[in-house]
Structure 1
Amino acid sequence: MRVLITGAGGFIGEHLVLRLAREGYQVRACVHRRHPEISVPSEVQVVEGDVRNRSSMKAAASGCEVIVHLAGKAHAIHEVRADEDEYHAVNVEGTRHVLDGAVAGGARRIIFFSSVKVFGESSQGCIDESASPQPATPYGRSKWEAEQLLNEYSARGGLTSSSFRLPMVYGPSHKGNLFRMIAAIDRGRFPPLPQVPNRRSLLHVENLIDATLLAIRSGGPLRPCYVVTDARPYSITEIYESLRKGTGKPIARWRVPARLLKVAARFGDVLERITRRSSPLTSPMLEKLIGSAWYSSDAIAQDLGYRPLIAFTDAVPEMIRFYRASLQ
């Protein structure tokens, strides 16, 4: 089976390409630009393509039975009008071009990596696919619009699709928020957080790939969307203490009070508005740390037998090793 992966040069894409190649699939890896850092097995076909260009997507999708569509513009903490325009061009119209390529090339299935941002920014209770989409950001809205395109094309017949709504994906080789948190803790620049009983869903990249393989292999129908997460949510205290332990730091003897953090965050909000420069702490940033945003992946477990095997604490040693290696 030939599988096209768009966005194959990114963190998730690289892991997915390697795993599918090991599983014996004929992999076509579509990257925006070739560069020396992209290392793939010799049997993987690497092609250049821009999702904003319909003809390049038709060429990339030609002869592929399944498409896993990862390419997109990631969300920014501080979104401006230019970001909103690019979200639409890449995440919405780019998805339309991939779908046109899928139809023209005779693909039978497309899996789209969406985001839990379609639900909104945070929640006090557990959310599943039955919740109404209420995207609160341009990024979230672009993902929701792209999902609706998949539903529209699938309704025409001949192409089955499903959107995976993902929380933050983590794992080795990813220089994202957790990598920066590890670096700050290691350098003594991340204050001990208050013990907050919040719940935040995360997703290890290999758990995500397990879910993707189940969707590729399934011969039956798929739901329009699936939430995919680790087996359980985590508190920021658990995340912080796991990373602190992984970097060799002792257990914190004191904690910054939550009230003080909220005051500092409000000050950061004002500072940003005045200086128009990024502040080290703002209310939205603090919400991501101590607020709750947790989701249920029961639907994909029920339909496809998804069983996430890797937990956050299992992944910490490898993430720390990657961080240490990056310092060399």
Structure 2
Amino acid sequence: MPVEPVFLARPRIAFVTGATGLLGNNLVRELLADGWQVRALVRTLEKGREQFPNGDIEIIKGDMLNVSDFEAVLKGVDTVFHTAAYFRDAYKGGKHWEELYAVNVDGTRLLLECARRQGVQRFIHTSSIAVLYGHPGQQIDETMLRAEEDADDYYRSKILSDQVVLSFLNDHPDFWATIVLPGWMHGPGDKGPTSAGQTFLDVAHGRLPGIPPGSFSIVDARDVARGMILASERGRRGERYLAAGQHMTMAELIPLIARITGARSPTRKLPLPLLYLIAAGNEAFSRITGKHVLLSWATVRTIAREAGRSHYNPRKSEQELGLKFRSPIETLQDEANWFQENGYPLSR
């Protein structure tokens, strides 16, 4: 009697933009652990190979400024996880609107068009809590959208990129996408480092002269990555899902980092007018030397405007996706271990 052939389902294929970033590299690792095949978009092959030395993913060199150059590798992909964005330089002084629009808005639009042309089934877009707005102390959920006039250039670019995704869905009923909104991400794998990682290192090395004002929503990048995978599996088309984590003031966060790393925490509080003065001096120095500023006017404005506006309601993500969040202590401890083990010696 002839034996019937057995057909095994092929692994799902993911395409991850921004794969070497803090969120991107953690997402790649979560996908691999779940059995996905991964095609990872990186701006330089050297950085990609350094981040993923085991050769268990397909590394694609490309740039969100030239999406058509890598369109062909989207063929056969099941899900695009779009984490790439122009962000860091937007807070280093000067004007960056053209770059923000080109990458965050036009780049997203072109990626959607290419994905649909190549038969991609699902698209998970990384937005930001920047697109939401509430009163200080208010619990903010996914319905509380920020108006463009209340946004700086980076925030505005994220608002517009969300609109691009939702407009694309409206124009193409056959396409599926959903949106995940991360908070201020910490955790292992921060090779950049990001602003979060740099803050961590500055505290660990005693470089902060005092405690700045402001509050943030602290979230583990691994939890955001898990939220994106869950959104691809359980999310609803066209919906937003918060992955924002826990509200913390800088007066709570900085001593906690110091305790974990064995550093001495600053105790003096830095008044907001002093930060504006420092930022103005930094901006003037940058215009003369051409160097990036350590503290920009845009950063101080964001600190001032967003103080207390970092209480986010996770109910929708918890109930619909099953997303869970690590404690900040676990996240920061793992962040410290990763820095210590990867060439960033700490004082502990």
Which segment is superposed worse, 8-17 or 121-130? 121-130
| Residue correspondence of structure 1 range 36-47 to structure 2 within 5 A | 36-39=49-52, 41-47=54-60
Question: Are residues 129 and 272 of structure 1, via their aligned partners in 2, closer, same or farther at CA, if it must alter by over 3 Å?
Answer: same
Counterpart position of 2:281: 271
Asked if the contact 1:265–1:281 (Cα under 8 Å) also holds between the matched residues in 2, the reply is no
The structural deviation recorded for 1:3 is 1.2
Which segment is superposed worse, 139-148 or 277-286? 277-286
Question: Are residues 102 and 229 of structure 1, via their aligned partners in 2, closer, same or farther at CA, if it must alter by over 3 Å?
Answer: same
1:224 aligns with 2:239: yes
Name the SS for the 1:15 alignment partner.
helix
Asked if the contact 1:30–1:60 (Cα under 8 Å) also holds between the matched residues in 2, the reply is no
Specify which of 258, 261, 272 is matched with residue 244 of structure 1: 258
TM-score normalised to the size of structure 2?
Answer: 0.81
Asked if the contact 1:201–1:234 (Cα under 8 Å) also holds between the matched residues in 2, the reply is yes
Letter in 1 for 2:248: Y
Unaligned runs of 5+ in 1: none
| Residues 3-49 of structure 1 deviation map (CA, whole Å, 9 limit, x = unaligned) | 11111122221111122112111211122221142315434222222
Question: Are residues 111 and 173 of structure 1, via their aligned partners in 2, closer, same or farther at CA, if it must alter by over 3 Å?
Answer: same
Counterpart position of 2:330: 314
| Residues 262-286 of structure 1 deviation map (CA, whole Å, 9 limit, x = unaligned) | 3422432443465456365868438
The structural deviation recorded for 1:59 is 1.1
Asked if the contact 2:136–2:308 (Cα under 8 Å) also holds between the matched residues in 1, the reply is yes
| Residues 161-182 of structure 1 deviation map (CA, whole Å, 9 limit, x = unaligned) | 1121222111113122333333
Counterpart position of 2:5: none
| Residues 236-292 of structure 1 deviation map (CA, whole Å, 9 limit, x = unaligned) | 22211111111213676xx3245xx23422432443465456365868438638922
Distance 2:52 2:237 in 1: 32
Distance 2:60 2:239 in 1: 29
Asked if the contact 1:200–1:233 (Cα under 8 Å) also holds between the matched residues in 2, the reply is yes
Which structure is richer in relative contact order (CA contacts within 8 A, separation 6 or more)?
2
Asked if the contact 1:18–1:40 (Cα under 8 Å) also holds between the matched residues in 2, the reply is no
Counterpart position of 2:79: 66
Specify which of 139, 142, 147 is matched with residue 162 of structure 2: 147
Asked if the contact 1:268–1:279 (Cα under 8 Å) also holds between the matched residues in 2, the reply is no
Question: Are residues 181 and 42 of structure 1, via their aligned partners in 2, closer, same or farther at CA, if it must alter by over 3 Å?
Answer: closer
Name the SS for the 1:209 alignment partner.
helix
Unaligned runs of 5+ in 2: 1-11, 288-292
Name the SS for the 2:91 alignment partner.
coil
The structural deviation recorded for 1:131 is 1.0
Asked if the contact 2:216–2:250 (Cα under 8 Å) also holds between the matched residues in 1, the reply is yes
Counterpart position of 1:15: 26
Asked if the contact 1:199–1:234 (Cα under 8 Å) also holds between the matched residues in 2, the reply is yes
Distance 1:55 1:236 in 2: 42
Name the SS for the 1:293 alignment partner.
coil
Please give the root-mean-square deviation of Cα atoms over the aligned residues, in Å.
2.8
Question: Are residues 67 and 281 of structure 1, via their aligned partners in 2, closer, same or farther at CA, if it must alter by over 3 Å?
Answer: closer
Which segment is superposed worse, 15-24 or 53-62? 53-62
Counterpart position of 1:190: 208
Counterpart position of 2:3: none
Distance 1:17 1:279 in 2: 30
Question: Are residues 268 and 305 of structure 1, via their aligned partners in 2, closer, same or farther at CA, if it must alter by over 3 Å?
Answer: same
Distance 1:132 1:302 in 2: 21
1:6 aligns with 2:17: yes
Distance 1:293 1:222 in 2: 27
Letter in 2 for 1:307: K
Distance 1:238 1:257 in 2: 12
Name the SS for the 2:131 alignment partner.
helix
1:112 aligns with 2:125: yes
TM-score normalised to the size of structure 1?
Answer: 0.85
Q: Number of paired residues?
A: 318
The structural deviation recorded for 1:153 is 1.8
Name the SS for the 1:37 alignment partner.
helix
Distance 2:92 2:42 in 1: 26
| Residue correspondence of structure 1 range 157-172 to structure 2 within 5 A | 157-172=173-188
Name the SS for the 2:303 alignment partner.
helix
The structural deviation recorded for 1:327 is 3.7
Asked if the contact 1:13–1:70 (Cα under 8 Å) also holds between the matched residues in 2, the reply is yes
Letter in 1 for 2:275: A
Distance 1:5 1:241 in 2: 35
